[in-house]
Amino acid sequence: MTRLPAALLSHQAPLELNEASTAWILASTALVLLMTLPGLALFYGGMVRRKNVIATIAHATAAFAIVTVLWFAVGYSLSFGDGGAASGFIGGLEAAFLNGVTPSTAHALAPGLPEFLWIAYQLTFAVITPALIAGAFAERIKFPASILFFVLWHLLVYVPICHQVWGGGWLGSLGVLDFAGGAVVHVSAGVAGLVAALVLGPRHGFGRDNMAPHNLALTAIGAGLLLVGWLGFNAGSAWAADGIAAVAAFNTLLAAAAAAIGWTAVEWIDHRRPTLLGLLSGLVAGLVGVTPAAGLVDPKGAFVIGLLSGPACYAGAVWLKRALKYDDSLDAFGLHGVGGIVGALLTGVFATAAINPAGANASLLNQAIGLVAVIAWSGAGTFLCLMACRFTTGLRVAKEEEIEGLDYTQHGETIHQ
């Protein structure tokens, strides 16, 4: 028998333990963490030049360490707590350092799950989001700058957006649908990546030197881990072991496959040959595109979202970058920004009450309003975070250090044998 807590915080409910759902979300938490370490670390690590592999993997590792501590201290409370008069935009501090959280409490959004598990699951989303941004500034940022950026960005950008969409804020109340993080995670990270790439400027030799991936085998392993982990990301976002989780899992796989085909078809026409990197990039594009829709659309909708996400992300990662000549090192905006925008908008088109009752309120207009709000908040907040880094730690390494490689100049380590 579960002991009731002496008093509940405003966001809490008594735990009504659902053992099957608890087991599934425990597994999903591990799967989503797998997406960052080692999934994203290897995916990005294989795409940089050999002299920057350690530095790139260090970004993902640092994001995990920094965000986990911040989430415990204030991030969870500000994201999912009650902010009183400011609750439309930010939560409060009543659960700071997890005060008031016990084994017998649940968050009101998921009364069948222990609150500690809910906190851990939501943490994994908070961890991967800044790690995604690192793909845009890879191979040229100072490590101290990346640490300060992760701290500031989590508190000033991720936490408010998370609360506004998922934690009881104004975007969720408006009816913006984001099943597993199309806007909260991918659009916010993609826009931040674009701003970071523009502020830092291109790598030395960009457009002239060979900057091809040093090891696509690592990237392929990372992409495979992302694909597996994404089942926890999307299907876990049903917060239950139920039919919605099941359709979200299938939609995730279908959209990834469709986008890989769509990307490769466009690449084949554009470059006269398909590439492994294109297949892997297309797969991730589909995963991103279906994220906001996974538990809200039927498989036909997921297929269309994936099939459109592949070419759209190819256009963002190849054609747009070529036309505007900005250096988004690992296509953080091209994949996550563009894919998230496409998926969020198409969620408003394909969401259906036949899959999820929330689909009855789907609105393309509301989805567009949500995207504008997230893009504006992330863009402005990211710029402020970068300026704070510029005037404290500094942003870029010296030219000579960049040419030598960040592995040695920032960390004193190397993968060379």
Return the H-helix or E-strand segment holding 107.
strand 105-107
pLDDT of residue 4: 52
Return the H-helix or E-strand segment holding 13.
strand 12-14
Buried b (16+ CB within 10 A) or exposed e, 248-287: bbbbbbbbbbbbbbbbbbbbeeeeeeeeebbbbbbbbbbb
pLDDT of residue 1: 43
User: Residue 392 is encoded by which pair of tokens?
Assistant: 């404290």
Residue 415 located in a structural domain: no
Q: For the chain, what is the domain count?
A: 1
Residue 412 located in a structural domain: no
Residue 242 located in a structural domain: yes
Tell me 141's DSSP state: B
CA–CA distance, 48 with 56 (Å, rounded to integer): 8
Q: Under 8 Å CB-to-CB from 129, ≥6 apart: which residues?
A: 158, 181, 184, 185, 188, 189
Could you tell me which residues are beta bridge partners of residue 14?
105
Which structural domain range is residue 136 located in? 12-403
> Looking at residue 290, which CATH number applies to its domain?
1.10.3430.10
Give me the count of residues in the chain: 417
Residue 341 located in a structural domain: yes
pLDDT truncated to tens, each residue of the chain (417 aa)? 455 556 899 999 999 999 999 999 999 999 999 999 999 999 999 999 999 999 999 999 999 999 999 999 999 999 999 998 889 999 999 999 999 999 999 999 999 999 999 999 999 999 999 999 999 999 999 999 999 999 999 999 999 999 999 999 999 999 999 999 999 999 999 999 999 999 999 999 999 999 999 999 999 999 999 999 999 999 999 999 999 999 999 999 999 999 999 999 999 999 999 999 999 999 999 999 999 999 999 999 999 999 999 999 999 999 999 999 999 999 999 999 999 999 999 999 999 999 999 999 999 999 999 999 999 999 999 999 999 999 999 999 999 999 999 999 999 999 874
pLDDT of residue 299: 98
SS3 of 43, please?
helix
